[in-house]
Amino acid sequence: MKRANFGSKIGVVLASAGSAVGLGNVWRFPYETGQNGGAAFILIYLGCVLLLGMPIMISEFIIGRHSQANTTGAYKFLAPNTHWKWLGFWGVMTGFLILSYYSVVAGWTLEYVMEALLNGFTGKIPSDFEASFVSFSQNPWRPLLWLAFFLLLTHFIIIKGVEKGIERSSKIMMPMLFLIIVMLVFCSLSLDGSEKGLEFLLKPDFSKVTSGTFLGAMGQAFFSLSLGMGCLCTYASYFNKNTNLTKTAFSVAGIDTVIAVLAGLIIFPAAFSVGIEPDKGASLVFITLPNVFQSAFGDVPVLAYVFSLMFYLLLALAALTSTISLHEVATAYLHEEFGFSRKKAAWCVTGCCLFLGVLCSLSLGVFQWFKIAGFTFFDLFDFVTAKLMLPLGGLFIAIFAGWFLDKKIVKDEMMTGGGVSVRLFMAYRFVLRYFVPVGISAIFLNELGVFS
Ligand code: PFF
């Protein structure tokens, strides 16, 4: 079967970065940072990106491009008649669960687009934003409508195909998002009392570090870089032989990390400035940001209007390029492994995610009382996928690429499209084979209390 391809080099980087950059950077990174004490968490996070994320991203690229198949197909091709195919299946399941609750938050961004469009932020004070977020997210209907709308939007882009849908949307939206985020950093830093937020972000307090900080940082690194579930592996199956995998991995991780840190630089100075607790959790971004627009441009309402509208639109688009990548993993799997037409495959994924997404959304409102192991559905999906399933998937991907995959394949894939120095190749192999498996296992064991 002839497979689709990304059309250009920049398209490759932008599509992968489009998957990586999303709510994970702007919504999840600040709230995890806030709940884990700030700067020390960020340092550990950066360590996880570099030492765990990078080698795994390169490995996913190698697996995907060499096999030119969806995630399970890739393992069937590279390790026929073995159990490795289950690693692909694990990825499909993980993506499916992430898409279900991620689309709920993506739907919230659309509510905020609407609010911005109707000038709903004007004249409000910080406590109003908090109250309106609570009443919106607990409303039984509105979030569900946005959830359905967002999933359908993803669905229709998915069935339009890889190049047209994914590549084009990423090319325009990524640079624009970057520009507006940089501008908002300046706005946020100019607010009264913002220094405290800066200190929270830059001055590490290691006394706040616990085993949960490591697990949180590792999970956030996997989530934000779209790693551990074969998403970038599926994208790499659309790369051509001219793509330099290592360079692409560094560009994607670089862009993703810069955007996450910039998002932190918007959220925390603003949160401290208006007196919102940094450990507020999932609502942090949604109650902090509207304040930035109001406080920074309060004197010039037109600017407040234009910038808030643009910001939420771009955030929704960033979320969209991520939901597309999540959806694509499961759709490509059903299409290629079960012979479903792409349309039918996509409908199955959309339908099931909608069902689970509804449960997640309602678990923040009318079903708040229903808890499993102390978690609402929404929190459970987030915890299980980001902190358990992705790192476990990453662990096995590292073992597969480091110990099972033919070294010649790994080397050939890394050397095409410009290649890397032998030293870098050796460093990659070493870190992948030894450091990554030991590091991920140690973080899990630490969380289980084995070392304390
Ligand atoms: N990386 C995306 C974000 O930060 O928003 C979320 C995501 C996309 C996670 C794709 C995993 C994935 F496979």
CA-proximal residue: ligand 1, atom 9 (nearest): 226
229 lines ligand 1 (CB under 6 A): yes
For residue 313, how far is its CA from the centre of ligand 1 (angstroms)? Answer: 18
pLDDT tens profile 314-333: 899 899 989 999 998 999 89
376 lines ligand 1 (CB under 6 A): no
223 lines ligand 1 (CB under 6 A): yes
Asked if the structure places residue 4 within a domain, the reply is no
d(CA 390, CA 224): 11
CB-based contacts of 93: which residues, under 8 Å, 6+ apart?
Answer: 389
23 lines ligand 1 (CB under 6 A): yes
34 lines ligand 1 (CB under 6 A): no
For residue 223, how far is its CA from the centre of ligand 1 (angstroms)? Answer: 5
pLDDT tens profile 392-424: 999 999 999 999 999 999 999 999 888 889 999
224 lines ligand 1 (CB under 6 A): yes
d(CA 451, CA 200): 28
Whose CA is closest to 350, among 136, 105, 149, 106?
149
- Which of the two residues, 54 and 299, has the higher pLDDT score? 54
25 lines ligand 1 (CB under 6 A): yes
Q: What is the predicted pLDDT for the residue at 290?
A: 86
Asked if the structure places residue 3 within a domain, the reply is no
397 lines ligand 1 (CB under 6 A): no
Asked if the structure places residue 224 within a domain, the reply is yes
Q: What is the predicted pLDDT for the residue at 240?
A: 86
Q: What is the predicted pLDDT for the residue at 280?
A: 81
Asked if the structure places residue 13 within a domain, the reply is yes
For residue 386, how far is its CA from the centre of ligand 1 (angstroms)? Answer: 10
CATH of the domain at 251: 1.10.4160.10
Give the burial class of 168: count Cβ atoms within 10 A of its Cβ; 0-12 exposed, 13-18 middle, 19 or more buried. middle
Asked if the structure places residue 387 within a domain, the reply is yes
322 lines ligand 1 (CB under 6 A): yes
pLDDT tens profile 157-204: 888 865 565 666 677 778 888 898 999 899 889 888 899 999 999 999
- Among the residue ranges 165-169, 227-231, 424-428, the one predicted with the least confidence is 165-169
Best residue among 45, 98, 100, 382 to mutate for probing ligand 1's pocket (most ligand atoms within 8 Å of CB) is: 98
- Among the residue ranges 93-107, 140-154, 192-206, 279-293, the one predicted with the least confidence is 279-293
For residue 215, how far is its CA from the centre of ligand 1 (angstroms)? Answer: 17
18 lines ligand 1 (CB under 6 A): no
pLDDT tens profile 333-381: 999 889 999 999 999 999 999 999 999 999 998 998 999 999 999 999 9
Give the burial class of 147: count Cβ atoms within 10 A of its Cβ; 0-12 exposed, 13-18 middle, 19 or more buried. buried
Asked if the structure places residue 199 within a domain, the reply is yes
For residue 315, how far is its CA from the centre of ligand 1 (angstroms)? Answer: 14
Using CA atoms, how far residue 377 sits from 53, 83, 101, 385, in Å, is 27, 30, 9, 12
Whose CA is closest to 130, among 266, 271, 34, 297?
271
For residue 255, how far is its CA from the centre of ligand 1 (angstroms)? Answer: 14
- Which of the two residues, 105 and 238, has the higher pLDDT score? 105
Q: What is the predicted pLDDT for the residue at 77?
A: 96
pLDDT mean over 213-225: 97
CA-proximal residue: ligand 1, atom 11 (nearest): 226
For residue 105, how far is its CA from the centre of ligand 1 (angstroms)? Answer: 13
Report DSSP letters for 358-383, one per residue.
HHHHHTTTTTTT--BTTB-HHHHHHI
Q: What is the predicted pLDDT for the residue at 288?
A: 86
Asked if the structure places residue 452 within a domain, the reply is no
The minimum-distance atom of ligand 1 relative to the CA of 25 is 4
For residue 124, how far is its CA from the centre of ligand 1 (angstroms)? Answer: 32
For residue 113, how far is its CA from the centre of ligand 1 (angstroms)? Answer: 21
The minimum-distance atom of ligand 1 relative to the CA of 228 is 13
385 lines ligand 1 (CB under 6 A): no
Check: CB of residue 439 under 8 Å from CB of residue 52.
Answer: yes
| Mean pLDDT of the chain, nearest integer | 91
Q: What is the predicted pLDDT for the residue at 357?
A: 97
Asked if the structure places residue 349 within a domain, the reply is yes
Using CA atoms, how far residue 452 sits from 217, 219, 229, 405, 447, in Å, is 19, 21, 30, 36, 9
Q: What is the predicted pLDDT for the residue at 1?
A: 43
Q: What is the predicted pLDDT for the residue at 390?
A: 98
Q: What is the predicted pLDDT for the residue at 296?
A: 77
- Among the residue ranges 6-20, 22-36, 391-405, 421-435, the one predicted with the least confidence is 6-20
pLDDT tens profile 65-88: 999 988 999 999 999 999 999 999
Of all residues in the chain, the percent with pLDDT exceeding 90 is 65
Examine the pLDDT at 121 and tell me if it is beyond 80. yes
d(CA 278, CA 30): 8
Examine the pLDDT at 5 and tell me if it is beyond 80. no
Give the burial class of 300: count Cβ atoms within 10 A of its Cβ; 0-12 exposed, 13-18 middle, 19 or more buried. exposed
Domain with 312 in it: 9-447
Examine the pLDDT at 264 and tell me if it is beyond 50. yes
Whose CA is closest to 151, among 97, 205, 103?
103
For residue 399, how far is its CA from the centre of ligand 1 (angstroms)? Answer: 22
pTM: 0.94
For residue 195, how far is its CA from the centre of ligand 1 (angstroms)? Answer: 31
- State the total domains in the chain: 1
Examine the pLDDT at 242 and tell me if it is beyond 90. no
103 lines ligand 1 (CB under 6 A): no
